[in-house]
Structure 1
């Protein structure tokens, strides 16, 4: 069922002319389309998000879409479920179903080889760092970790926890846009929360440099 919904979402997106999910008008159109599914809207959203993660589609617009459609709380829940599920499936594809193909995909990105070597030394700490600090593209990481020695459990738990702050920030910011239509105070509060989280995340790389042996090793390894 979820697979069919995911396909339907992609097809509908193309029919609507959604070639750039990040555009506000496209997000608004997708919001209306998904909301029209009523009780099935969460299934449509999660299925489409998972398919997008596997297909290397940027996750940020979809996270914002979750906040627009479902609000900050439910949007965070659904976006977190979807991003973690997509990350798990990409990991499993790389490890068990298409390892040779994934290795060929990664060949043009020698920097991703650092993840394998650093993970062998530092384990889940490398997952934590690459999820919190934008060193490598999110969707490429999902496949890259499938080629490392880290266990699926450690990868998933660390990914879920460390992706959560950014997910909350973006869904809260998107939810503030909707809230502003009927409650200005709520909008200001939500934007303030999102702003604090985003500022903290932007300062994290600078704070970690020199304090994290795992990060220093990841950046230094050639």
Structure 2
């Protein structure tokens, strides 16, 4: 019954958006697919400020469910249209809203489908097992990664034993730093000639974050291997 209600709500939302803006998704997704941040910014501007805010938030929610296009394209466009400060705030609200909506759908309507995804992926099985034990800390750490797949992380969290409160707090706190990075990256890529210094600095920051994670994981793996070697085998 829950799954039927879930599909009904999804269909109703899609129909409502289509009636509101018939060419909205086709045009916007066509631009997002090409990765043209400046063109997407111009499209958002064409709605006027107030409507552009609603359109941007709607796109963030939809992109959370598609798990295909990087948020940086939309975040960068938001930074161009609304300025860096308001673009960061709007992008943060949009990503949090999208995560909360997806969490509700995945936990209460499509739990079996998400569980099926996880069962087919060794990586997602590891993520699921870790999040079951560490909950808030695991999700917060995942949210802080600038290029992490937000939709997949949300889906895994939704079917875990994590409380709604922990999910919301980890999402609200954890999404802000990577949103700042994505808005700056997207904005400065569109205006690389004017912001080359900052663009390089942000790219180096992202590389440093992932480099540190790689080094930490490598050290942990090495420590585990050394531990296995030094532990004496029990004689049967």
Does the alignment pair 1:79 with 2:91?
A: yes
Cα distance in 1 between the residues matched to 2:66 and 2:29:
18
Match of 2:234 in 1: none
Match of 1:172 in 2: 184
Q: Deviations over 1:121-156 (max 9, x none)?
A: 222111122223489632111111101011122112
Picking from 142, 145, 151, the partner of 1:139 is: 151
Cα distance in 2 between the residues matched to 1:51 and 1:203:
31
Picking from 123, 134, 144, the partner of 2:135 is: 123
Say which SS state the counterpart of residue 21 (structure 1) adopts. Answer: helix
Q: 5+ unaligned residues in a row in structure 1: which ranges?
A: 217-222
Match of 1:28 in 2: 38
Cα distance in 2 between the residues matched to 1:24 and 1:135:
16
Q: TM-score, normalised by structure 1?
A: 0.75
- Root mean square deviation, CA, Å: 3.3
Larger radius of gyration: 2
Match of 1:61 in 2: 73
Match of 1:108 in 2: 120
Say which SS state the counterpart of residue 32 (structure 2) adopts. Answer: coil
| Residue 10 to residue 148, structure 1, CA distance change in 2 (3 Å) | farther
Cα distance in 1 between the residues matched to 2:22 and 2:62:
9
Q: 5+ unaligned residues in a row in structure 2: which ranges?
A: 1-12, 225-236
Picking from 200, 205, 211, the partner of 1:203 is: 211
Match of 1:44 in 2: 55
Cα distance in 1 between the residues matched to 2:66 and 2:214:
31
Q: Deviations over 1:77-108 (max 9, x none)?
A: 11111111111111111211121222223332
